[in-house]
Amino acid sequence: MTIPVFLANLGYQKIIVRMLLPKKHFEKRKLEHLVENQTSYHLNNAEMHVFETHQQAQQVALKFRQPVLASMLTGKKVMHLEHVQPFDFLPGESIILPPDAPMLIDFPEATMQKPTRCLAMTISIDKIKKIIGLLNENLPRIDGQEWNFMDFNFQFTNDIAIHGIIQRLLFLFTENHPSKDLFADFMLKELVIRILQKEHRENHSVQTKHLGGEGRLTEIVKYIHDNLSQPLTIQHLSDKAHMSESNFYRVFKNEFGISPVDFINEERIRLATRLLRDPDKQIKEVYLECGFNSLSYFNRLFKRKNQVSPRKFQAKNKISD
């Protein structure tokens, strides 16, 4: 039994540079099918499968016997999953799926010149258990709960750190280095931990907004959500948490895998993204409402997250509406 190796592109900053398949993949792989051609690679504790589609297709059925994390490389899929509205699956995005989850997939844009490519990676369940045990021992959660397997159907945008790990793993899977299993072991540990922290951070953020909760960090996250338009400093937040600044910074980053400042910026950009769907909103009005006092800084963070400037994002959504 295996459980997914979690790949992807970034959590709090969206990757602009797309993940690249190594040259050795194209030298060795056989293109036997134009729809979902599969090439598989194996390490001691992990497997990687590359799927390539070179022509338009609809309602292609796919199912994995093991839990899997699918991550888009190039092109576009439209995913049809049980109990979920159909959604576009694009480069830089990943989703964790449970075993035997039925999928129907559309490939509306795939051609020989511009194929759709996707990864699916798994690692052994024993390996994941060891990694989670290491995490619980060294970085216990402040709420007293134990780290555990991430929820299925967790869909997210890959962050820079995760992107880099997966890109390196892609290289390792296809090379013939005698120590590649050892190298991969270190990266798999970091990859699983970063995904767990990312899932915890996003779930914590949603639950704090909609369900409330108890605990010092829960109260801080709720305070951040309620005061995004106001100045938010580490000193002020640590005072509210009744911690020293250094301890607050350490505990927050250990819990969520991201610094308080990056978390605040992530939430502000998420708010700005929602606000800019209103064509009548002015850019200046939005960035001030989201707590930014510099237009250039706001533009830089927004483009890093959404791959387009605020102005182009708003114009694009206005046209699509």
Query: Residue 36's closest CA among 75, 93, 81?
Result: 75
Question: For the domain that residue 283 is a member of, what is the CATH number?
Answer: 1.10.10.60
Q: Are residues 228 and 258 in the same domain?
A: yes
Find the mean pLDDT for residues 207-222: 65
Q: Are residues 232 and 152 in the same domain?
A: no
Please give the residue that has the higher pLDDT: either 218 or 232. 232
Q: Are residues 216 and 157 in the same domain?
A: no
Q: Virtual CA dihedral for 155, 156, 162, 165, nearest 10 degrees?
A: 30
Find the mean pLDDT for residues 142-156: 74
Question: For the domain that residue 114 is a member of, what is the CATH number?
Answer: 2.60.120.10
The answer to whether the pTM exceeds 0.85 is no
Range of the domain at 302: 212-321
Residue 151: predicted pLDDT: 59
Find the mean pLDDT for residues 21-35: 88
Residue 213 tokens, joined: 């909760």
Find the mean pLDDT for residues 287-309: 89
Whether 18 has a pLDDT exceeding 80, the answer reads no
Q: Are residues 156 and 268 in the same domain?
A: no
Residue 20: predicted pLDDT: 84
Place of tokens 């978390």: 263
What are the pLDDT digits (tens) for 158-205? 888 888 898 999 899 998 889 999 999 999 999 988 888 888 777 766
Residue ending a domain, among 137, 170, 203, is 203
What are the pLDDT digits (tens) for 104-125? 999 999 999 999 999 998 888 8
Residue 139: predicted pLDDT: 83
Whether 8 has a pLDDT exceeding 80, the answer reads no
Q: Are residues 159 and 221 in the same domain?
A: no
Find the mean pLDDT for residues 46-66: 91
Residue 319: predicted pLDDT: 54
Number of domains in the chain: 2
pLDDT band for position 320 (50/70/90)? Answer: low
Q: Are residues 261 and 179 in the same domain?
A: no
Kind plus residue range of the DSSP H or E element containing 119: strand 116-124
Residue ending a domain, among 180, 203, 226, is 203
Residue 236 tokens, joined: 């002020």
Backbone angles phi, psi at 269, to 5 degrees: -70, -35
Helix or strand or coil: residue 287? helix
Confirm if 12 and 263 have CB atoms less than 8 A apart: yes
Residue ending a domain, among 145, 169, 203, is 203
Q: Are residues 133 and 27 in the same domain?
A: yes
How many angstroms separate the Cα of 250 from the Cα of each of 114, 142, 245, 246, 258?
45, 11, 9, 6, 10
Residue 1: predicted pLDDT: 35
Q: Are residues 181 and 231 in the same domain?
A: no
pLDDT band for position 17 (50/70/90)? Answer: low
Whether 247 has a pLDDT exceeding 80, the answer reads yes
Q: Are residues 84 and 233 in the same domain?
A: no
Residue type, 155: Q
Q: Are residues 57 and 162 in the same domain?
A: yes
Q: Are residues 181 and 158 in the same domain?
A: yes
Residue 3: predicted pLDDT: 37
Q: Are residues 236 and 295 in the same domain?
A: yes
